[in-house]
Amino acid sequence: MELHDSIVIGGGQAGLSASYHLKRRGIEHLVLDANAHPGGAWQHRWPTLSMHDVHGVADLPGLERAEDDGAAAAREAVPAYFRSYEQTFDLPVVRPVEVDAVTDDDGILVVRSGERAWRTRTLVNATGTWTRPFIPYYPGIETFAGRQLHTVDFTRPEEFRGQRVLVVGGGQSAVQFLGQLAPVTDTLWVTRHEPRWRTEEFTPEAGRAAVALVEDRVRQGLPPRSVVSVTGLLLRPQEEEARRLGAYERRPMFSRIEPRGVRWTDGSFEPVDVILWATGFRHAIDHLAPLHLRSPRGGIQLDGTTAVADPRIQLVGYGPSASTIGANRAGRSAALGVVRWLADEAATLA
């Protein structure tokens, strides 16, 4: 079986950026992507998420995205750009390949997908979070007689017309869902913490400070928090109507779920038809478990993008680089990490 210099797992923003930088440095590699089409997680975003709604999708390195009027659906505009990006730079993407395990076979990494396997000297993991939706457990969750769905299942607000929708979660997705739902349904919002609204302009300094906080966590081997969780929430003009309707008057978390609604510790009860869990994601890294990269503190400790436990492995789109800008930078850093490791290996063998 051929031995590759590097394999990138995942063909989203982080994986494509890594592939671009590896190619520029002449590193032979493959990109294995689980999706049947280009676009990473963007192809699965809800249809009503327009380019106007997203917080700014950074261009991938070396190719500007054509201007759009903002009305285009993100699930179409971004994948179209990724497709032309892969073609322009002739990136070696193989799909669909869903990697289920990476093992170490006598110093060579073996990347497995069902019956198929690839051997490689180094690995760049760029699998994002979309495939690992997170729903917290609350007592009674299994008894709820209405509909429960997660951010990944949301399609359009009209689907919920005439129903009472409980939105759970304190992130930007919850804020956007309420903005769309409140004008057409009856909504209720619960969050674990008092929402922290961002009133000041979002400056590059504030962005860097937020990223530095998350960077510090992964340097210590702690599980990363999302960058958005430390930047604060933003209400935009398209959420104004929901605000006027009182959709952002949040309640603290309930203590249990009953067949027809939710109950708080003080005994109060609210009937709801739908629970929309906008409760975020975890990193999709189960396939790396055989490599034992996790630190005793629960996260994968990184030095830049390099796994401290195994410097053959780079993680991009993880923790502080889980944004389009962060993913771009991480792709470059990962390529440099791969180059460094291959050079060290060649020097050792010489």
Kind and range of the H or E element at 113? strand 108-113
Cα torsion 240, 245, 249, 252: sign: negative
d(CA 266, CA 13) in angstroms, rounded, equals 46
315 closest CA partner among 211, 212, 224? 224
Query: Does 35 interact with ligand FAD (rule: CB under 6 A)?
Result: yes
CB of 58 closer than 8 Å to CB of 325: yes
Instruction: Using CB under 6 A, pick the residue from 4, 21, 283, 287 that binds ligand FAD.
Output: 287
Instruction: Using CB under 6 A, pick the residue from 4, 11, 122, 319 that binds ligand FAD.
Output: 11
Residue nearest to ligand FAD (CB): 12
CB of 126 to ligand FAD, least distance (A): 5
198-224 core/surface letters (b: 16 or more CB in 10 A; e: else): eeeeeeeeeeeebbeebbebbbebbeb
Instruction: Using CB under 6 A, pick the residue from 122, 131, 180, 301 that binds ligand FAD.
Output: 131
CB of 224 to ligand FAD, least distance (A): 12
CB of 318 to ligand FAD, least distance (A): 8
Give, as ranges, the residues between 208 and 227 that touch ligand FAD (CB under 6 A).
Answer: none
Nearer to ligand FAD, 108 or 325 (CB): 325
Residues 6+ apart with CB under 8 A from 226: 171, 214, 280, 322
**What dihedral do alpha carbons 12, 15, 21, 24 form, nearest 10°?**
-80
CB of 255 to ligand FAD, least distance (A): 28
Give, as ranges, the residues between 139 and 198 that touch ligand FAD (CB under 6 A).
Answer: 173
Instruction: Using CB under 6 A, pick the residue from 272, 302, 327, 334 that binds ligand FAD.
Output: 327
Query: Does 110 interact with ligand FAD (rule: CB under 6 A)?
Result: no
Nearer to ligand FAD, 134 or 269 (CB): 134
Task: Copy the structure tokens of residue 72.
Answer: 């285009």
163 closest CA partner among 47, 276, 7, 313? 276
Binding site for ligand FAD (CB under 6 A): 9-15, 32-35, 40-41, 45, 54-57, 97-99, 126-128, 130-131, 173, 284, 287, 317, 322-324, 327
